[in-house]
Structure 1
Amino acid sequence: MAAADAACAVPSGGAPRAGRVFITGASSGIGAALAAVYARRGAELGLLGRRRPALEALARSLPGNHRVYAVDVRYRAALHAVAADFLAGGPVDVVIASAGISVGTVTEEPEDFDVFEAIIDTNLNATVATFEPFMAAMKARGAGRLVGIASVAAVRGLPGAGAYCASKAAVRNYCESLRVELHGSGVGVVTLAPGFIRTPMTARNPYKMPFLMPVERFAELAVRAIDRNVPYIVLPWQMAWVARLLRLVPNRLYDHYAAQRGRKPRQS
């Protein structure tokens, strides 16, 4: 789809409104909801995901003209190529690495190793590969936002979710490292840590999900945090308190109760 020029505006509250936004994992869930918020604000979007029909349907439903890229984020060269195409249309204000996989894994099952690798590649390595091609231009301008998606699951390990918890803990620490590296450059790094958000991913969870938040509300709050360059935020706020309390629970007690928790189904 053709791209359209979009100027940066200033919304109420004085925070800079992004004119051009690149989002991976945009075909559904959090990525699609974030795209909807930015499109309503007049941004030009680069929408990347594996499913072209879903991306094109999303683009048609949004105001404005947007670019659609059907790419698997695990292929770094292809990801860099489409990033270069979007950069050719003008400066990019916000890059959101939203692509993610959440599947149950069990270490004793040999076939789950491939799933483990896919989760790490998609959730962690692709976050790095998504940011790489945009950083030089952002640093040269002294402006921009890089947004990573961690999770409350990064706080403590959960049974049957070793790959997912490990990947999200790594994303959280990677984004913090990057934020420190870029300190003073004008480029902000924002880490979003969702709790339970109503998306197709969480629809498969066979356990209770306290404080389940509609994805549209999450996206609105997330964009506000990105505007304000908040370094790290847990949404909804109730889960931030849960995360703080979980860190304080002694290992013996945590192990006893966490072992009884329901487990996400394995892919295999």
Structure 2
Amino acid sequence: MTSPATGAVVTARRPLAFITGASSGIGQALAWRMGQAGYDLALVARRGETLQAWRLSQGMDESRCRIYAADVSDIEQIVAAARSCIARQGLPDVVVANAGISIGMDTAVRGDLDVMARIYATNNLGLAATFHPFVAPMRERGSGRLVGIASVAGIRGLPGSAAYCSSKAAAISYCESLRVELRRSGVRVVTISPGFIDTPLTRSNRYAMPFLMQPSDFADRALKAIEAGDSHRIIPWQMAWVARLLRLLPNGLFDRATSGRARKAREGE
């Protein structure tokens, strides 16, 4: 592009996406898709060396893709990574709080309460801590996308998944609250609830997974939802209909339909 005032060539700034949980699964697929769409990337994961190896394998130059090692369940670590991103790469256009864990639990087992605490620390506090450093500067700029990755599992509680389902229900409500708070600021809050995606997170599931998607297909649809600024998108669309039916199902019918369902594996199983 040429400056009309000076005639000099001006290079347009590429949009920047900050993505947590980018070392595998949904996060990695979305990072690849956004990179292909012209975004610069700020990628976060506990396993920074794994991300570096992936960046090199994809031929991504460090000028386009920077890696930040941080555990989102540690508030100070993820806040520090976010501030480092702003200092090194500028304020992102899109922040995707994707990092999450899914482990089955049994409330009768004392150790599983510690599992529940870890899930909430990652899936809920980690979500808010990821957004925190960006809210004020995005509001001041008057633009941005804050994207929370929730789950269809947040629609109703499933046996053996009390911690995960409740954490994702909380993520949906949290993002909705933040969306209303930021209304008219220019900052859009987008909630994306995946159904079953073929990732390491789902491969240990011991029950049927209807409408199972490949991560690349999910990433294509998620990027469209992000750029459209959707308030809440369930992917794939078939799971959106399942979610609507689950909401309408009376408790008695829901209980009978799910009581014999295989439980999510607990830690160590």
TM-score (norm 2): 0.92
**Which stretches of structure 1, 4 residues or more, deviate above 6 A after TM superposition?**
none
Q: Which moved more, 1:93-102 or 1:252-261?
A: 252-261
Shift of 1:81: 1.0
Shift of 1:25: 0.4
SS in 1 for 2:257: helix
Shift of 1:58: 2.1
**Structure-2 residue corresponding to 1:37:** 33
Q: Which runs of structure 2 are paired with 1:1-268 in the superposition (5 Å)?
A: 7-8=13-14, 19-60=15-56, 61-65=58-62, 66-88=65-87, 89-268=89-268
Using the alignment, how far apart are the partners of 1:54 and 1:113 within structure 2?
Answer: 30
Structure 1 spans left out of the alignment, 5+ residues: 9-18
Q: Deviations over 1:211-268 (max 9, x none)?
A: 0011100001001100000000000000000000111111111101211111111004
Shift of 1:90: 1.5
Structure 2 spans left out of the alignment, 5+ residues: 1-10
- Report if the CA contact (8 A) 2:91-2:134 is conserved: no
SS in 1 for 2:174: helix
- How many residues align? The count is 254
- Report if the CA contact (8 A) 1:6-1:20 is conserved: no
Shift of 1:178: 0.2
SS in 2 for 1:208: coil
Q: Deviations over 1:57-108 (max 9, x none)?
A: 2222153431111211111111111111110122210000000001001101
What is the percent sequence identity of the aligned residues?
52
Using the alignment, how far apart are the partners of 2:161 and 2:150 within structure 1?
Answer: 14
SS in 2 for 1:23: strand
Q: Which moved more, 1:246-255 or 1:160-169?
A: 246-255
Structure with the greater alpha carbon radius of gyration:
2
Cα distance, 1:40–1:255 mapped onto 2, change above 3 Å: same
Q: Which moved more, 1:248-257 or 1:180-189?
A: 248-257
- Report if the CA contact (8 A) 1:100-1:123 is conserved: yes
SS in 2 for 1:198: coil
